[in-house]
Chains A and B, each alone.
Chain A
Amino acid sequence: MMFIPEPLRLLAFVVGIIAFIALNAAYLVWLERKVAGHIQRRIGPKEVGPFGLLQPLADGLKLMSKQLLVPKGVDPYLFKVAPLLVLVPAVMSFVTIPFSENLVARNIDIGLLVIFAFASVNVMGLLLGGWGSANKYAVISAARCVSQNVAYEIPMLITVITMIMVTHTMNLNEIVMQQDGSLLNWYIFRLSASPLMPVAFLIFFTCSLAETNRAPFDLGEAESELIAGYHTEYSGMGFGVFFMGEYANIIIGCSLATILFLGGWQCPLGLYPGWWWFLAKVYLLIFCVMWIRWTYPRTTLWGLLNLSWKYLIPISLVNLLLTGAMIKLWPLLKTFLMGAS
């Protein structure tokens, strides 16, 4: 490890991350279709390869061989750049995500912030893509996406600030390290940090669903209202890249939830920790995302904002206050208890 120069290591990681995203996007689609199928008492893809495992390949080939149509009246450059604006920040976000103790492209102190910085660019991609399509449905969709993203950034960031208060660091590696040991050390169960920790996890998870435009918050691509939303006009790989970006964002959301609350690569059973634990937890969360998608109807914009302002923001603020109080009170309480015993 020592003699590999840093730039080459970074390059290897970026290539690895892109491969990871592409593979995941392909196979998460497969998984999503399988999950949807079984929830609906169907089989899902099964024709191409055993269990339909080669279906993503067929889909990918189809998408790639399709012509990228540029509709009349759009700005062709913006139209083509927009999908990349969704995918590239997602790829960049992966740079700071620790898959295991050493398997991280760049272990920087403000890793958490970096992810949010890149995630905020995502909105720009949706907005330019939707608006650049010169399609009214896409414009409505883009407007919805942005209001939704902005609205849910507030409770999400409040929760993240709470977590930073608890962990005293924005370094993702360190956050995971702090959750070493037994299951009770996971922040979701660390009630001594704040009694509302499991709720904080739920808030974070809900917000990441909303941020990634997943059902029940998929207002942006509400197919029964807006056809396909901001990517209505995209065909072939334009659509494919949007799709990859969307799945990459889901993985990022689930990874962050895993790192912040579920102990990252730490193993609950005290077994040797490793990246497979991390991936197992992430995929479990992704399964939940899919499960939720295939269970609920879609909310409306008002329902969404209502949820955010009426429930998520007050509760996360209460959590913030409680955490602050606990940080000051817990040591006192502990010494008091110690003294009593």
Chain B
Amino acid sequence: MGEYFKELFGGTKSLVVGLGITIKHMVKPVVTLQYPHESLKMSARFRGHIELLGDEETGASKCVVCGMCQRACPSGCIALAGEKPEGAKKKVLTSYVLDFTKCSLCGQCVESCKFGAITFSKEYNLAGPRKEAYIFDLKKRLEERSG
């Protein structure tokens, strides 16, 4: 009999305590961020999709078309090409395409780059209606930014 009442009162008490906790939280301010109206500040190290870095003076890409990033990429989403103009010492980048649909944001490309030519973008809310919207021509994006 004692056990019965102990269970009854103990159980009821636990239920009341639970109610107390939820009401306590109810009167506290909300913790969520109202996403489309407020946007999130990404941390400095946030790994978004990659972006080409331009030279500070000329604005041209620092890439020397060594192909390390292409080889490092596990998903094979980087395609780049370059040519050696007449008389130049280094190769010049002609196209750098990132297929973001395959990218797993591992960051191996950035790590493998010895020349600091690529970096992570801080863009995080990417959305688009078509697959093609995620095939980024990074060279064009670089030119648009610098010019």
Q: Which residues of A contact B (CB under 8 A)?
A: 35, 37-43, 46, 291-292, 294-296, 310-311
Among residues of B, the one whose C-beta sits closest to the C-beta of A310 is B4
A291 near B23 with CB under 8 A, answer: yes
The reply on B19 being an interface residue by CB < 8 A is yes
The reply on B88 being an interface residue by CB < 8 A is no
The reply on B44 being an interface residue by CB < 8 A is no
Q: Which residues of B contact A (CB under 8 A)?
A: 4, 8, 15, 18-19, 21-23, 25-32, 34
Among residues of A, the one whose C-beta sits closest to the C-beta of B24 is A39
- Main secondary structure on chain B at its contact with chain A? helix
A-B contact pairs, 22 of them (CB 8 A): A38-B26, A38-B27, A39-B22, A39-B23, A39-B25, A39-B26, A41-B29, A41-B30, A42-B30, A42-B31, A42-B32, A43-B32, A46-B34, A291-B22, A292-B19, A294-B22, A295-B18, A295-B21, A295-B22, A296-B15, A296-B18, A311-B8
**Alpha-carbon separation in the docked complex, A46 to B33 (Å):** 13
Chain B proximity of A95: nearest CB distance (Å) = 34
Among residues of B, the one whose C-beta sits closest to the C-beta of A295 is B22
Q: Which 4 A-B pairs have the closest CB atoms?
A: A295-B22, A41-B31, A39-B26, A38-B26
Chain B proximity of A37: nearest CB distance (Å) = 8
**Alpha-carbon separation in the docked complex, A42 to B34 (Å):** 9
List residues of chain B with CB within 8 A of the CB of A40.
25
**Alpha-carbon separation in the docked complex, A46 to B26 (Å):** 17
Among residues of A, the one whose C-beta sits closest to the C-beta of B8 is A311
Given contacts A38-B30, A291-B22, 18 further A-B contacts (CB under 8 A): A35-B26, A37-B30, A38-B26, A39-B22, A39-B23, A40-B25, A41-B25, A41-B29, A41-B31, A41-B32, A43-B34, A291-B19, A291-B23, A291-B26, A292-B19, A294-B22, A295-B19, A296-B18
